[in-house]
């Protein structure tokens, strides 16, 4: 039997961490697992635009190692980004790694039954929330990068038949969106 997991996807600053933390606090059946790529970027002082194949390879390795923890937990994992989001980063930033990562993805799906929450924000909100260490002239490049990420994530949902729920998490929507997600998960038995 595959382990159910809830995957939160969205651009940097969309509210994945905030919503996952809130959901975990409201329901003791959930356990939050933060985005590995964001943690690694902080460790090595890189941003999304400067990361490279070595970086993406390390994210994939850490994510795969963490899968055993996700599988073993008694709670339902709330996972930020997971392999779905990492596929998008790899395809956009390190395309030479994509074919081998895509070959591994069905193995992950044989263990896990992901249900995705796709969190969007208006691009003007993204510009306000973005904390990536970039130069001001790189803001538009960062937005274009994350637009690609969003597109690849949506395509991955369709390609791998991953059910998802989309919400827009603009300013002032946090409580309402948490309730929408809770209702959606409850209707799915989670």
- The domain ranges of the chain are 3-187
Question: What is the enclosing helix (H) or strand (E) of 18?
Answer: helix 16-26
Question: Do 145 and 89 form a contact (C-beta atoms < 8 A)?
Answer: no
- Per-residue tokens: 40: 């690694």
Start-to-end CA distance of the chain, whole Å, equals 16
Least confident of 1-15, 53-67, 152-166, 170-184: 170-184
Q: How confident is the model at residue 98 (pLDDT cuts 50, 70, 90)?
A: very high
Q: What is the mean pLDDT of residues 4-29?
A: 93
Q: Please work out, in degrees rounded to the nearest 5, the angle formed at the alpha carbon of residue 151 by the alpha carbons of 96 and 39.
A: 65
Question: Do 2 and 111 form a contact (C-beta atoms < 8 A)?
Answer: yes
Question: Do 157 and 116 form a contact (C-beta atoms < 8 A)?
Answer: yes
Question: Do 120 and 168 form a contact (C-beta atoms < 8 A)?
Answer: yes
The CATH topology of domain 3-187 is Rossmann fold (3.40.50)
Counted residue by residue, the chain has a size of 190
Q: Does the predicted model carry a pTM greater than 0.85? A: yes
Strands (E), 52-190: 76-80, 112-120, 164-168
Mean model confidence pLDDT for the chain: 90
Compute φ and ψ for 164, nearest 5 degrees. -145, 160
């Amino acid at each position: 039997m595959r382990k159910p997991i809830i995957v939160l996807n969205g651009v940097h600053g969309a509210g994945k961490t905030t919503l996952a933390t809130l959901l975990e606090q409201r329901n003791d059946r959930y356990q939050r697992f933060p985005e590995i790529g964001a943690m690694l970027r902080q460790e090595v002082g890189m941003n999304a635009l400067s990361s490279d194949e070595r970086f993406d390879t390390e994210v994939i390795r850490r994510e795969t190692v963490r899968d055993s923890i996700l599988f073993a937990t008694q709670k339902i994992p709330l996972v930020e980004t997971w392999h779905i989001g990492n596929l998008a980063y790899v395809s956009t930033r390190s395309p030479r790694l994509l074919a081998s990562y895509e070959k591994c993805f069905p193995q992950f799906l044989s263990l896990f039954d992901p249900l995705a929450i796709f969190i969007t924000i208006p691009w003007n909100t993204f510009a306000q929330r973005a904390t990536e260490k970039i130069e001001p002239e790189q803001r538009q490049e960062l937005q274009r990068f994350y637009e690609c990420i969003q597109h690849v994530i949506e395509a991955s949902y369709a390609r791998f038949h991953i059910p998802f729920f989309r919400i827009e998490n603009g300013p002032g929507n946090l409580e309402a969106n948490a309730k929408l997600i809770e209702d959606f998960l409850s209707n799915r038995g989670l």
